[in-house]
């Protein structure tokens, strides 16, 4: 599976980077370097992570949601085209998720960013669009909500934390990545499969009863 390959490549490069600051500095998202024609950093930053926990949580989410979206793409578009479109979703997810950061920090010579969370967010919201009624939750918290409700809470929380500039997390990348994932799914499925994923999304939600909106326990 291409998802496993992406996880393997990202994990290897990130692990090497943990003990190789030169590698990190060469490929991390760094606006000043991008101004010097190093545009490749719009993608390469996503294959680097700050530490093991950062890497683990991103790769865990990538595995959970990426494998499912990969299956959907292969089923709808065929093996070859499905893999190609899936790779496009991931790579352009990295690019588009970091664009708001680029616009905001392009003159900040101190700013740097790394991690695959923007592309992972694109996959998460692609999953939410296809499976809005599947239950989603947060690790270690035994409360599960339908994916579409989880997505709404996630976006609102990310907007709030981004405005507060809470921690070292790039919350705007999560928001932009999720938005890109939704747009990509809508456009690609309409053009290449004549499927309106928005209509499917709404129909799935309309079939929901109140008792299906929350689930406790593992």
> Does the structure show a pLDDT above 70 at 212?
no
> Does the structure show a pLDDT above 80 at 209?
no
pLDDT at 142: 73
Give the span between the Cα atoms of 45 and 143, in whole angstroms: 33
Contacts of 163 (CB under 8 A, 6+ apart): none
> Does the structure show a pLDDT above 60 at 23?
yes
Q: What is the DSSP string of 9-21?
A: HHHHHHHHHHT-H
What tokens were used for 6?
A: 């992406």
pLDDT at 213: 57
The Cα-based distances of 96 to 91, 120, 149, 179 in angstroms read 9, 12, 24, 9
> Does the structure show a pLDDT above 60 at 46?
yes
pLDDT at 182: 98
pLDDT at 84: 98
DSSP tag of 29: B
* Structural domains of the chain, with CATH: 2-216 (1.20.1540.10)
> Does the structure show a pLDDT above 90 at 210?
no
Give the span between the Cα atoms of 115 and 82, in whole angstroms: 25
Q: Give residue for tokens 């239950």.
A: 135
Averaged confidence pLDDT in the chain: 93
pLDDT at 184: 99
Per-residue pLDDT averaged across 125-143, rounded? 87
pLDDT tens digits for 79-120? Answer: 999 999 999 999 999 999 999 999 999 999 999 999 999 999
């Amino acid at each position: 599976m291409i998802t496993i390959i992406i996880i393997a490549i990202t994990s290897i490069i990130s692990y090497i980077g943990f003990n190789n600051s030169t590698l990190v500095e060469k490929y991390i998202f760094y606006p000043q370097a991008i101004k010097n024609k190093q545009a490749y950093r719009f993608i390469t930053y996503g294959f680097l992570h700050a530490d093991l926990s950062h890497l683990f949580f991103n790769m865990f989410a990538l595995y959970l949601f990426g494998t499912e979206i990969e299956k959907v793409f292969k089923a709808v578009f065929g093996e070859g085209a499905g893999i190609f479109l899936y790779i496009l979703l991931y790579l352009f997810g990295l690019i588009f998720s970091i664009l708001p950061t680029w616009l905001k920090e392009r003159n900040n010579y101190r700013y740097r960013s790394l991690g695959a969370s923007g592309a992972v967010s694109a996959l998460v919201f692609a999953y939410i669009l296809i499976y809005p009624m599947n239950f989603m939750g947060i690790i270690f918290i035994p409360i599960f909500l339908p994916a579409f409700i989880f997505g709404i809470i996630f976006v609102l929380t990310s907007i709030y934390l981004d405005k507060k500039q809470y921690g070292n997390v790039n919350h705007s990348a999560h928001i932009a990545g999720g938005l890109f994932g939704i747009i990509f799914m809508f456009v690609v499925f309409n053009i290449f499969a004549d499927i309106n994923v928005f209509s499917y999304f709404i129909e799935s939600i309309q079939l929901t009863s109140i008792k299906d909106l929350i689930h406790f326990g593992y």
